[in-house]
Amino acid sequence: METLQILVVDDEPGMLTGVQRALRSLRLVLAEVQTEVDFTVETAASGELALERIEAHRPDILLLDHKLPGISGLDVLERIAARKSDILTIMITAYASLETAVTAIKQGAYDFLAKPFTPGELKATVHKAASNLVHTRQARKLAQEKRRIRFDVISVLVHELKAPLAAVEGYLSILRDGIAGEDPALQHKMIARCGERMDGMRKLIVDMLDLTRIESGQKARTLSRVDVAEIARKVMDNCQAAAAGRGINLMLTGPEILAMTADAGEIEIVLNNLVTNAIKYNRDGGRVEILLNQTDCRVTLAVRDTGIGLTEEEAARLFQDFVRIKKTETRNIPGSGLGLSIVKKIAYLYEGNVDVESQPGQGSTFTVTLHNEPEVHHH
Amino acid sequence: MNPTRQNPVTILLVDDDPDFLCQMELQLRNAGYAVTTAADCREAEAQLAQAPPDLAVLDLMMDHPDDGFALCYHIKKKNPATPVILVTAVTSETGLEFDAATEEEKSWIRADAMLNKPVRFEQLTREIERLLRK
């Protein structure tokens, strides 16, 4: 519900009360922008009073009589135009004077209404103006919001890239200036850190590209019958080395074959991100279980770990872009902060969702639920 | 950096960013300071209990967003004369402007200087020398 303020300016008291009566109970439904609008109506008996009122109350719509005792309606219009407010003016012209109407429109009035008019004509004109006003404001708000989000994303991205860049630069200048001395082990350690930080940057850039492609619908999708179990085995193979390095056991539970209509690449990204996380945030010697399941028209991919777990507050923030949970246990774990955003966006492509259940210190289970189109049979 | 000193100045460096910690330690050592490092509050407290430093350089946001403040408070409580420099990426991480510019802010924050990350080494040593001369 939005309430627009109307100011009626006329020197005829009968006119003011008439307009007030007609508009006070007016209630408009603007379906396209899902907004209901009602009105408060104020009055002014002269142009001078009108300008005072405008200054003090900032009305949204002005019903302005052309012929006023002091300064004229056109004078008022001129002064409003000079103030660059977004007030919409409907000029009321006496004697259906076309000339005045044209002048008013040229000076920035939104519409005009010729005296005498019926309550129905008045309401129709106000409806049009209100609709225009609400649309313009919503469009402006949306554009602002879009610019803000874009700015936020770019600021975060810049920050996330600046940090590793500064780290690599620092190591290079230390190596160049010979500050670290001649210890080859230390030099190797610094070179290795440069590599790690640059891997992180590359991962961030790739994830960012994936995310924007998915969000903007630019990513070409190839939907076909794929075997999710097969993809899961492939992901496990790819993650085996990282898991073995920390003594973590990877397991797969579920049907031998799980057919669904999907883009194989997307399913691989989802499983890969979840399994990589489950390894990264696990304890040494822990366990990662992939659980595949199929019901009528749903496929669930769950990944359970025995890692550090999440508090409720952490779990609530987890799926936002760039969010990484900062605590002692996560200090030295690299990540772009986009992995789960990508998982979530892909799940949405399948009318699905992603959820997390977790116990701090015990582990987490991430469950992705996807809608599975029943197989199309050709006859 | 200051060859006229009898004993090297000891600096406690606390930061959860391993790259920053490693680089600043090497740079400061190379410049003639004695450096001890800690990656979190607990380690820092242990270092402080063992040997109070001549000056401390603390990261503001570590495991908790205000670890630097807490640590700074402890140091100042025990040794009010020990200069403390807070280093922070808080501006770029949270969008909050942070600077101990006025006397009131300084008395509240209790740190002697605040530097925004990324911190250049020359900038850090300039602050260190300025605070040691006081």
Question: How close does chain B come to A346, measured CA to CA in Å?
Answer: 27
B92 to A155: CB separation less than 8 angstroms, yes or no: yes
Lowest-pLDDT choice from A173-182, A190-199, A219-228, A368-377: A368-377
Q: How confident is the model at residue A110 (pLDDT cuts 50, 70, 90)?
A: very high
Which of A55-59, A190-194, A339-343 ranks highest by mean pLDDT?
A: A190-194
- Specify the pLDDT at position B102: 58
* A317 contacts A325 by C-beta, under 8 angstroms: yes
Nearest CA to CA, how far is B81 from chain A (Å)? 30
How confident is the prediction for chain B on average, in pLDDT? 82
**Helix/strand/coil (H, E, C) string of chain A?**
CEEEEEEEECCCHHHHHHHHHHHHCCEEEEHHHCEEEEEEEEEECCHHHHHHHHHHHCCCEEEEECCCCCCCHHHHHHHHHHCCCCCEEEEEEHHHCHHHHHHHHHCCCCEEEECCCCHHHHHHHHHHHHHHHHHHHHHHHHHHHHHHHHHHHHHHHHHHHHHHHHHHHHHHHHHHCCCCCCCHHHHHHHHHHHHHHHHHHHHHHHHHHHHHHHHHCCCCCCCEEEEHHHHHHHHHHHHHHHHHHCCCEEEEECCCCCEEEECHHHHHHHHHHHHHHHHHCCCCCCEEEEEEEEECCEEEEEEEECCCCCCHHHHHHCCCCCCCCCCHHHCCCCCCCCHHHHHHHHHHHCCCEEEEEEECCCEEEEEEEEECCCCCCCC
Is B19 in CB contact (< 8 Å) with chain A?
yes
Q: Which residues of B touch A326 (CB under 8 A)?
A: 61, 63
* Residue A214 pLDDT: 84
Q: Residue B111 is part of which domain span? A: 10-133
What is the total residue count of chain B? 134
Q: Domain A223-371 maps to which CATH number in 1.10.1660.10, 3.30.565.10, 3.40.50.1820, 3.40.50.2000?
A: 3.30.565.10
Task: Give the per-residue pLDDT at A1.
Answer: 83
Q: Tell whether the model's pLDDT for residue B91 goes beyond 70.
A: no
Residue B5 banded pLDDT, cuts 50, 70, 90: low
pLDDT at position A313, please? 86
**Position B1 in a domain:** no
Average pLDDT (A244-248) is 94
Residue B97 to chain A, least CA–CA distance (Å): 15
Asked if the model's pLDDT at residue A376 lies above 70, the reply is no
Instruction: Give the span between the Cα atoms of A154 and A29, in whole angstroms.
Output: 38
| Beta carbons of A366 and A301 less than 8 angstroms apart | no
Q: Which residue has the higher pLDDT, A249 or A296?
A: A249
Token readout for A2 is 């939005």
Helix, strand, coil content of chain B in percent (nearest 5): 45, 20, 35
Instruction: Report the candidate in A243, A234, A170, A166 with the shortest Cα–Cα distance to residue A200.
Output: A166
Torsion angle, alpha carbons of A120, A123, A125, A126, to 10: 170
Q: What is the mean pLDDT of residues B104-127?
A: 80
**Nearest residue of B to residue A325, measured between CA atoms:** B63
Asked whether residue A317 carries a pLDDT value surpassing 90, the answer given is: no
> Which pTM does this prediction carry?
0.64
Are residues A179 and B30, on separate chains, in Cβ contact within 8 Å?
Answer: yes
B95 has pLDDT over 70: no
Residue B37 β-bridge partners = B13
The CATH fold assigned to A2-143 is: Rossmann fold (3.40.50)
- Predicted local distance difference test score (pLDDT) of residue A273: 94
Say yes or no for a CB contact (<8 Å) between A179 and B27: yes
CB contact under 8 A, B16 and A331: yes
Residue-level pLDDT at B99: 54
More confident residue, B41 or B35: B35
Q: Do A163 and B89 touch (CB under 8 A)?
A: yes
Instruction: Of A9-18, A153-162, A205-214, give the lowest mean pLDDT range.
Output: A153-162
B interface mutation test: which of A189, A323, A326 has the most B CBs within 10 A?
A: A326
| ipTM of the modeled complex | 0.80
Rounded CA gap, A243 and A265, in Å? 22
The answer to whether residue B24 sits within a structural domain is yes
Residue B110 domain-assigned? yes
Supply the CATH number for residue B55's domain: 3.40.50.2300
Tell me the pLDDT of chain A averaged across its residues: 89
How close is the nearest chain A Cα to the Cα of B67, in Å? 12
- Both tokens assigned to B30: 């190379």
Q: What is the CB neighbour count within 10 angstroms for residue A121?
A: 13
- Of A357-371, B61-75, B98-112, give the lowest mean pLDDT range: B98-112
Largest separation between any pair of C-alpha atoms in chain A: 97
In a domain, B3, yes or no: no
Average pLDDT over residues A36-44: 92
Give the residue numbers in A contacting B (CB under 8 Å), as ranges. 155, 159, 162-163, 166-167, 170-171, 174, 179-180, 190, 193, 197, 326-328, 331-332
**Model pLDDT, residue B103:** 60
Domain definitions of chain A by residue range: 2-143, 223-371
B95 CB neighbours in chain A (<8 A) are 155
What integer pLDDT is reported at residue A209 of this predicted model?
A: 86
Residue B10: predicted pLDDT = 95
Q: Decide if A170 and B40 are in contact by the 8 Å CB cutoff.
A: no
Q: How many domains are contained in chain B?
A: 1
